[in-house]
DNA sequence: ATGGTCGCAAGGCGA
């Protein structure tokens, strides 16, 4: 089972590039972030015609997540528990039925800038809620994959120019500590497990020629429960999608599981 | 330090 995460930065703008990538990469599951669309506005038919089931959790203009799957999906839940007043569409879960059932958690973690301020407070509170959800799932001792745009530069080697991010919500020590608290529950980063080398990135800003200069950062991850990590076969980044026509500023990251 | 580029949606916010 090949599972990918991809921040597409707007489904309307990616109406050609997303199907093109699916045709080439052929993931069984694609967890999408920043669809920037309400559920009714998501062009599900395009993907259903390609053999994918489509589950969205959208909102107008901003945020929004979705799961595309060529395998059956069950028990879809929308939103991250822990704050009934949170109206931002950043989280969706579903169970994919392959050889083995795998719980999928698709997340778009808040950016958090500017710091300090309410947006940064929201980011840290959201991470506390994600930590609580990870703990709940770990108790179940099932294969699960928590994947998406974490908006965290975990370590300096995950940025081409770490000095530019020192005061940023993506790289502050408090941000990194909150991320590591989640990972330290016992989750395995699929890409790092298979590609420990530095200099792999998943995002290049549209501005200032970041792509041409390879001024990137690694912020998109698939974190695996112990039961999922036992099934890990391979992982990678589809870097070349950034060089295509009308690309997202993120590229897909994927993991192959024996599931 | 500033401005640089996109997406959504139709002006300004978010990244």
> What's the confidence (pLDDT) of residue A44?
98
Query: Is A110's CB less than 7 Å from nucleic acid strand B?
Result: yes
Alpha-carbon dihedral A62, A222, A129, A77, rounded to 10 degrees = 70
Q: What is the pLDDT of residues A110-136, one digit of tens each?
A: 999 999 999 999 999 999 999 999 999
Dmax (CA) for chain A in angstroms is 46
> What's the confidence (pLDDT) of residue A116?
96
Query: Of A95, A77, A79, which Cα lies nearest the Cα of A140?
Result: A95
Positions of A marked catalytic: 108, 149
Query: Is A164's CB less than 7 Å from nucleic acid strand B?
Result: no
CA separation for the pair A37, A50 (Å, rounded): 20
Query: Is A246's CB less than 7 Å from nucleic acid strand B?
Result: yes
> Which nucleotide is nearest, taking the CA of residue A9 and each C1'?
B7
Query: Is A196's CB less than 7 Å from nucleic acid strand B?
Result: no
Of A residues 132-151, those with CB within 7 angstroms of nucleic strand B are: none
**Neighbour tally for A176: CB within 10 Å:** 16
What confidence category does residue A183 fall into, taking pLDDT thresholds of 50, 70 and 90? very high
CA separation for the pair A243, A241 (Å, rounded): 5
Q: What is the pLDDT of residues A138-156, one digit of tens each?
A: 999 999 999 999 999 999 9
Share of residues in chain A with pLDDT > 90 (%): 100
Alpha-carbon dihedral A237, A5, A34, A71, rounded to 10 degrees = 140
Structural domains in chain A plus CATH codes: 2-257 (3.60.10.10)
> What's the confidence (pLDDT) of residue A20?
98
Residues in chain A: 259
CA separation for the pair A78, A227 (Å, rounded): 23
> Which nucleotide is nearest, taking the CA of residue A61 and each C1'?
B8
**Gap from A101 CA to B5 C1', in Å?**
41
Q: What is the pLDDT of residues A185-240, one digit of tens each?
A: 999 999 999 999 999 999 999 999 999 999 999 999 999 999 999 999 999 999 99
Query: How confident is the prediction for chain A on average, in pLDDT?
Result: 98
Query: Of A110, A188, A107, A111, which Cα lies nearest the Cα of A148?
Result: A107
> What's the confidence (pLDDT) of residue A235?
98
- Closest residue (CA) to C1' of nucleotide B6 is A206
**Gap from A41 CA to B1 C1', in Å?**
41
């Amino acid at each position: 089972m090949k599972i990918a995460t991809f921040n597409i930065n707007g489904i309307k703008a990616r109406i050609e590039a997303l199907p093109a990538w699916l045709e080439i990469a052929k993931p069984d599951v694609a967890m999408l972030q920043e669809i920037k669309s309400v559920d009714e506005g998501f062009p599900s038919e395009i993907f259903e015609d390609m053999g994918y089931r489509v589950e969205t959790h959208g909102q107008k203009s901003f945020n929004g997540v979705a799961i595309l799957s060529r395998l059956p999906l069950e028990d879809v839940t929308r939103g991250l528990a822990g704050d009934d007043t949170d109206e931002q569409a950043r989280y969706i879960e579903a169970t994919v039925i392959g050889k083995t059932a795998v719980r999928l958690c698709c997340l778009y973690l808040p950016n958090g800038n500017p710091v300090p301020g309410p947006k940064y407070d929201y980011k840290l509170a959201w991470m506390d809620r994600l930590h609580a959800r990870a703990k709940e799932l770990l108790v179940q001792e099932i294969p699960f994959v928590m994947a998406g745009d974490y908006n965290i530069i975990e370590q300096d080697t995950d940025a081409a120019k770490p000095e530019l991010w020192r005061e940023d919500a993506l790289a502050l020590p408090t941000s990194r500590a909150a991320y590591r608290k989640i990972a330290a529950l016992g989750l395995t980063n699929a890409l790092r497990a298979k590609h420990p080398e530095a200099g792999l990135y998943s995002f290049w800003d549209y501005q200032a020629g970041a792509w041409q200069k390879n001024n990137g950062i690694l912020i998109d991850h698939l974190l695996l429960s112990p039961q999922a990590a036992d099934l890990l076969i391979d992982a990678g980044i589809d870097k070349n999608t950034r060089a295509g026509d009308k690309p997202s500023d993120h590229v897909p990251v994927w993991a192959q599981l024996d599931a």
